[in-house]
Amino acid sequence: MTKKKLFSGIFAVVLLLSVVLGGCSGSTDSKDKGSKGDVTIDVFQFKVEFKKQFEEVAKKYEKDNPGVKINITTVGGGEDYGAALRSKFASGKEPAIYNVGGPQDVKDWNKKLADLSDTKAADAAFEGTLDGVTKDGKVLGLPFNQEGYGLLFNKDIFKKAGINPEKITTLAALEEAVKTLDGKKKDLGLKAVFALPGKETWVTGLHLSNAFLAPEFDNNALNSFAAKKVEFKYGEGFKKVLDLQNKYSVQPTVSLDYAKQVEELFSLQKVAIIEQGNWTYGSIAGIDEEFANNGVGLLPIPVEGYKEDSIPVGIPMYWAVNSNKDDKTVEESKKFLDWLYTSDEGKRTVLEDFKFIPAYEGYDASKISDPISKEIYKYVENKKTIGWAFMGYPTGWGQEELGVQIQKYLSGDADWDQVVENTQKSWEKSRSK
Amino acid sequence: MLRTRDLSYWLFLAPVLIALSLVVVVPLGLGVYYSFTDWNGIEVGSFVGFENYINVFQDEEFMAALWFTVKFSIVSIILINFFGLSLALIVTSKIKSSKLLRTIFFMPNLIGGLILGFIWQFIFMKVFDGIGTHFGIENLQGWLSTTETGFWGLVILMSWQMAGYIMVIYIAYLESVPTELIEAAEIDGASPFQRLVYIIFPLVAPAFTVSMFLTLSNTFKLYDQNLSLTGGGPYKSTQMVSMEIFKTAFVESELSYAQAKAVIFFLIVAVISLTQVYINKKREVEM
Nearby residues of A170 by Cβ (< 8 Å), 6 or more positions away:
A302, A308, A309
Q: Is A99 on the interface with B (CB under 8 A)?
A: no
The pLDDT value recorded for residue B2 is 54
Nearest to A284 by CA among A355, A254, A294: A294
Predicted pLDDT of residue B83: 93
Between residues 111 and 130 of chain A, which touch chain B (CB distance below 8 Å)?
Answer: 111-112
Q: Is A208 left (phi over 0), alpha (psi -120 to 50) or beta?
A: alpha
pLDDT at A78: 54
Residue B234 preceded by cis peptide, ω within 30: yes
Minimal-distance CA residue of chain B relative to A112: B42
Tens of pLDDT, residues B186-242:
888 888 888 888 888 888 888 888 888 888 888 888 998 998 888 887 888 899 999
Question: What is the predicted pLDDT for the residue at A32?
Answer: 40
SS3 content of chain A, % helix, strand, coil (to 5): 55, 15, 30
Indicate yes or no: CB of A395 within 8 angstroms of CB of B253.
yes
Is B192 in CB contact (< 8 Å) with chain A? no
pLDDT at residue A31 in the model: 39
Q: What is the pLDDT of residues A112-154, one digit of tens each?
A: 888 888 888 888 888 888 888 888 888 899 998 889 999 999 9
Q: Which of A8, A104, A199 has its CB closest to that of B231? A: A199
Amino acid code (one letter) for A291? F
B86 touches chain A (CB under 8 A): no
**Which whole-number Å values give the CA distances from A393 to A97, A143, A181, A319, B158, in the listed order?**
25, 19, 35, 20, 37
Q: Do A16 and B11 touch (CB under 8 A)?
A: yes
Closest to B150 in 3D by CA, of B52, B238, B227: B238
- Candidate from B146, B250, B253 with C-beta closest to A411: B146
Report pLDDT for A33.
43
pLDDT, mean of residues A292-307: 90
pLDDT digits (tens, 9 = 90+) for B83-135: 999 999 888 887 888 888 888 888 888 888 888 988 998 898 889 888 888 88
- What average pLDDT does range A187-211 have in this prediction? 90
Query: Long-range CB contacts (< 8 A, 24+ apart) of B195-199?
Result: B196/B89
Nearest-by-Cβ selection for A252 from B7, B145, B235: B145
Is the pLDDT at A12 greater than 70? The verdict is no
CB-based contact, A2 to chain B, within 8 Å: no
- The pLDDT of residue A85: 87
Instruction: Give yes or no for a contact between B143 and B230, defined as CB atoms under 8 angstroms apart.
Output: no
Q: Does B187 touch chain A (CB under 8 A)?
A: no
For residue A130, what is the enclosing H or E element? none
Q: Is the pLDDT of residue A44 over 70?
A: yes
Is the distance from CB of A386 to CB of A303 less than 8 angstroms?
A: yes
Chain B residue with the nearest C-alpha to that of A411:
B146
pLDDT of residue A196: 92
* Listed residue (A199, A202, A182) closest to A190, CA to CA: A182
pLDDT bucket at B251, cuts 50 / 70 / 90: confident
Residues A255, B142: C-beta atoms closer than 8 Å: yes
Cβ of residue A8 closer than 8 Å to a chain B Cβ: yes
User: How near does any CA of chain A get to the CA of B64, in Å?
Assistant: 14
CA distance B176 to B195: 15
Residues of B in contact with A198 (CB under 8 A): 234
Helices (H) and strands (E) in chain A, counts: 20, 12
Q: Does B250 touch chain A (CB under 8 A)?
A: yes
Chain A residues in contact with B231 (beta carbon < 8 A): 199
Contact at CB, B42 and A108, closer than 8 angstroms? yes
Is the CB of residue A404 less than 8 Å away from at least one CB of chain B? yes
Residue B182 is predicted with a pLDDT of: 85
The pLDDT tens digits for B128-158 are 888 888 888 888 888 888 888 889 999 999 9
Q: Is the pLDDT of residue A159 over 80?
A: yes
- Output the pLDDT for position A6: 67
Asked whether the beta carbons of residue B15 and residue A15 sit closer than 8 angstroms, the reply is yes
Residues of chain A with CATH 3.40.190.10: 38-146+316-362, 147-314+379-431
Q: Nearest CA to B12 among A10, A234, A88? A: A10
Provide the mean pLDDT of chain A: 86
Q: Is A38-146+316-362 a CATH 3.30.499.10 domain? A: no
Nearest to B196, CA basis, from B176, B177, B168, B215: B177
Alpha-carbon gap, residue A407 to A204, rounded angstroms: 9
Q: Is the pLDDT reported for residue A30 higher than 50?
A: no
Q: Is B137 helix (H, G, I), strand (E, B) or coil?
A: coil
- On the question of pLDDT at A363 being above 80, the answer is yes
Do A254 and B11 count as a contact with CB atoms less than 8 A apart?
A: no
B142 touches A at CB < 8 Å = yes
Tens of pLDDT, residue by residue over A404-432, are 999 999 988 889 999 999 999 999 988 88
Nearest CB among A13, A111, A407 relative to B235 is that of: A407
Structural domains of chain B in order of their starting residue, each with its CATH number: 53-286 (1.10.3720.10)
Sheet arrangement for strand A318-321: A68-74, A39-45, A97-100, A318-321, A142-143
Taking residue B47's Cβ as centre, other Cβ atoms within 10 Å add up to: 10
Q: How confident is the model at residue B29, as a pLDDT? A: 92
Q: Which residues of B touch A108 (CB under 8 A)?
A: 40-42, 253
How many beta-carbon pairs below 8 A join chains A and B? 89
Contact A368, A354 (CB under 8 A): no
Q: What is the CATH code for A147-314+379-431?
A: 3.40.190.10
Using the Cβ of B48 and the Cβ atoms of chain A, whether some distance falls under 8 Å is answered with no
Burial class for A372, CB neighbours closer than 10 Å (0-12, 13-18, 19+): buried
d(CA B220, CA B85): 21
pLDDT at residue A35 is higher than 70: no
In angstroms, what separates the C-alpha of A13 from chain B's closest C-alpha?
Answer: 6
In this complex, which of B15, B18, B145 lies closest to A255 when CB atoms are compared?
B145
Residues from chain A contacting residue B249 (CB–CB below 8 Å): 83
| Cβ–Cβ gap A400/B247 under 8 Å | yes
CA distance B145 to B151: 10
- Work out whether strand A296-299 and strand A273-277 pair parallel, antiparallel, or are unpaired: unpaired
Q: Tell me what the mean pLDDT of segment A286-311 comes to.
A: 90
Q: How confident is the model at residue B3 (pLDDT cuts 50, 70, 90)?
A: low
Contact A361, A130 (CB under 8 A): no
Using CB atoms, pick whichever of B7, B234, B252 lies closest to residue A407: B234
Q: Which residue has the higher pLDDT, A191 or A23?
A: A191
| Chain-chain contact of A104 with B253 (C-beta, under 8 angstroms) | yes
Q: How do residues B34-74 score in pLDDT, each as one tens digit?
A: 999 888 777 788 888 888 898 888 888 899 999 999 999 99
Which residues of B are less than 8 Å from A407 in CB distance?
233-235
Q: Point out the residue among A5, A108, A400 whose CB comes nearest to the CB of B251.
A: A400
Report yes or no: A172 at the B interface, CB cutoff 8 Å: no
Q: What is the pLDDT of residue A29?
A: 41
